[in-house]
Amino acid sequence: MTSAGLIPFRLVDGTLEILIAHPGGPFWARRQEGAWSIVKGEVPSGEDPFDAAVREFREETGWAVAPIDPLPLGEVTQKAGKRILAWAFPAELDPATLAGDPMTLTVRGRAVTFPEIDEVRWCRRAEAERLLNPAQSVYYERLNAALGNRR
């Protein structure tokens, strides 16, 4: 399975911050370290991965973005084998305005609806490395290197 995602970034007092997301739902409710992710989603057969990343970002956050000259950050493979492609772009997004589409799952025989993402947060290096899925934490360093090693 391949997913594609976008990583908004900003510089605050010369320090790189990236926007990461916490998955919604009962399975993730109490998980923090290693549970966060870039905003991403599955790439359906025949869809361009970058187009899928933009679509998924809008669906999962409610923010319509049009990254101009996105910075490709390459691919990572997570422990379970999922491949993720990512692109970064500069942005100023307010986490308080997160408004993604809900999803519904059957939990213990009943339908439960919740947001795909229940929280987003701007993070610097140490926090991003602690919270992100370990395979995805490399994206911070790749972006940091591409921007000239800002801390």
pLDDT in tens, the chain (151 residues): 899 999 999 999 999 999 999 998 776 778 878 889 999 999 999 999 999 999 999 999 999 988 778 999 999 999 988 999 999 999 999 999 999 888 898 878 999 898 899 999 999 999 999 999 999 999 999 999 999 875 5
Domain-located, residue 40: yes
Neighbouring residues of 145: CB distance < 8 A, sequence distance ≥ 6:
none
Angle at 29 between CA 135 and CA 98, to 5 degrees: 80
How far is residue 140's CA from residue 93's CA, in Å, rounded to a whole number?
18
Give the β-pairing of 2-12 and 39-42: antiparallel
pLDDT of residue 131: 97
Per the confidence metrics, is the pTM higher than 0.85? yes
Reading the block at residue 106, the tokens are 């059957």
> Which are the contacts of 127, defined by CB distance < 8 A and separation ≥ 6?
121
Asked if residue 13 is part of any domain, the answer here is yes
Considering the domain boundaries, does residue 151 fall inside one? Answer: no
Q: What is the CATH number of the domain that holds 84?
A: 3.90.79.10
| Tokens representing residue 91 in the block | 């942005």
What's the structural domain count of the chain? 1
